[in-house]
Amino acid sequence: MREPILALGKYEIIQAIGSGGMATVYHARLSGPMGFEKPVAVKVLQDDAAADEEIVRMFVDEARLGARLTHPNIAGVMEFGEADGRYFLAMEYVDGMSLSMLLKRRPKGKKAKGLDPAAAVHVTSCILKALAYAQALPGPDGKPLAVVHRDVSPQNVLLDRSGAAKLCDFGIATGTWRAEKTRFGLVKGKVGYMAPEQSAGGKVDTRTDLYAVGLTLVAMLTGSAPFDGKDTGEIRAKAAKGLPKDRVDALSCDDGLKDVLLRALAMRPADRFASADEFLKALTTAAPDPTETGRVALAAALETALEKPPSTRSGTAKAAVAKPSRKRPSTRSSETADSAAGIRNVLIGAGLLMLVALALALLKIGLPD
Ligand SMILES: Nc1ncnc2c1ncn2[C@@H]1O[C@H](COP(=O)(O)OP(=O)(O)O)[C@@H](O)[C@H]1O
Ligand SMILES: [Mg+2]
């Protein structure tokens, strides 16, 4: 194990904010003369991953593609660098939280509660705009790169406080530039958001991403992942069969939106929308939002979730309102936050016990025989 990372080249690390299998993402700061400061997100390959040539190649590909993507709904890549033998990717810092974290922090009653449908539609349209842009982006030969993200899921959608949603993590994206040479078992998307053809290891194209967008919309409307199971195998098996129609019928949203979802979630790619643009048009026709109600509702949901301390996360909405905290949680990774809170509680408990023991000892010394 190496020392914890405190700085990477010119970036000063503030805290870890997220981690997938192969990399850790940090909130960092870029400082300059006269008090200049810019927040950034820095994604660093974990040591064991950095020893694997194929993973490094994929990381470099992620950086290369990221450098070409400039769009308001994509977390922009600023730099790919190396410091102290570590490869890293500096990105625009999205000040908020991931969609998966927001859904986890929603008030939970007897039934998981989803986002306001207008907010869910707004996030979906942001993701579709990002995909439409990436899909059409021309490569060096002028032809579209035909980017397929392959990992569209709530963890890879970042929400900023103003209510904008940005797609991130093009780490396993593919397209016309990339010959599929990836070792079996290495490339993974989130199994619970994969289209049937992707989980079967078949050919993927933009319609595969559109299916994942459909499932992400279902997750937002219901407040929980579309497929559950005791392990990845069970989730994958359910996902491979597709989402039963009655699950869409049971959603609490307009019929027009349900029709859009049914098309996006068709088992056969040929029955889905042909492009992100087509999906977007159908979505905005079914659920028009000229006054930006969705963005405003999303910003409000984020504000509540950011104020909510991690310990009350699974409590009721009432509990969260009764004990407001103006302080932002110190980290957006629930695991890190929960374990930090646990350690703190143990330390406080141990301190109290020591005080009681000391008081008893003093009392004993002071007592006459
Ligand atoms: N640019 C960013 N700004 C803020 N948070 C980010 C940013 N990029 C990633 N994160 C956080 O880090 C997590 C993991 O990032 P991601 O790029 O998806 O890595 P991985 O490839 O390990 O899944 C995200 O779910 C999000 O919480
Ligand atoms: Mg990710």
Question: pLDDT band at residue 341, thresholds of 50, 70 and 90?
Answer: very low
Give this prediction's pTM: 0.83
Q: CA 219 to CA 247: how far, in whole Å?
A: 11
188: left (phi over 0), alpha (psi -120 to 50) or beta: beta
pLDDT value at position 304? Answer: 94
Distance 347 CA to ligand 1 centre (A): 31
The whole-number pLDDT of residue 358 equals 76
Report residue 107's pLDDT band, with 50, 70 and 90 as the boundaries: confident
The pLDDT of 303-327, averaged and rounded, is: 49
Q: pLDDT of 28-50, one tens digit each?
A: 999 999 999 999 999 999 988 88
Cα distance between residue 364 and residue 369, in whole Å: 10
The strand pairing partners of 27, in sequence order, are 15, 41
Q: Are 192 and 43 in contact (CB under 8 A)?
A: no
Are the C-beta atoms of 149 and 134 separated by less than 8 Å? yes
Among the options 151, 160, 169, 209, which is catalytic? 151
Q: How confident is the model at residue 364 (pLDDT cuts 50, 70, 90)?
A: low
Does residue 221 have a pLDDT over 70?
yes
Q: Report whether residue 166 contacts ligand 1, using a CB cutoff of 6 Å.
A: no
* 2 within 8 A of 83, measured Cβ to Cβ: no
Tens of pLDDT, residues 55-97: 999 999 999 999 999 999 999 999 999 998 999 999 999 999 9
The ligand 1 atom at the shortest distance from the C-alpha of residue 22 is: 22
Give the residue whose CA is nearest to atom 11 of ligand 1.
18
Q: Is 277 a catalytic residue?
A: no
Decide if pLDDT at 367 tops 90.
no
Q: Decide: 279 in ligand 1 pocket, CB within 6 A.
A: no
Cβ atoms of 219 and 103 closer than 8 Å = yes
β-bridge mates for residue 167, sequence order: 74, 157
The pLDDT score that the predictor gives to residue 365 is 56
pLDDT confidence of residue 179: 53
Residue whose entry in the numeric block shows the structure tokens 């219901």: 222
Q: Is the CB of 76 under 6 A from ligand 1?
A: no
Cα(25) to ligand 1 centroid in Å equals: 6
Q: Identify the DSSP state of 56.
A: H
Length of the chain: 369
For residue 96, what are its two tokens? 């908020």
- In the predicted model, is pLDDT for residue 25 greater than 80? yes
For ligand 1, say whether the CB of 42 is within 6 Å of any of its atoms.
no
Res. 337: pLDDT tops 70: no
At residue 164, φ and ψ (nearest 5 deg) are: -90, 145
Amino acid at 53: E
Within 10 angstroms of residue 294's Cβ, the number of other Cβ atoms is: 24
Selection from 314, 283, 251 nearest residue 103 by Cα = 314
Q: How far does the centroid of ligand 1 lie from the alpha carbon of residue 88, in Å?
A: 13
Q: Are strands 23-31 and 37-45 parallel, antiparallel or unpaired?
A: antiparallel
| Stretch 266-289: mean pLDDT | 98
Tell the residue nearest (CA) to atom 13 of ligand 1.
18
Rounded to the nearest angstrom, the distance between the alpha carbon of 364 and the centre of ligand 2 is 59
Query: Which amino acid residue places its CA nearest to atom 19 of ligand 1?
Result: 20
Pairing of strands 165-167, 157-160: antiparallel
Q: Which ligand has the nearest atom to the CA of 15?
A: 1
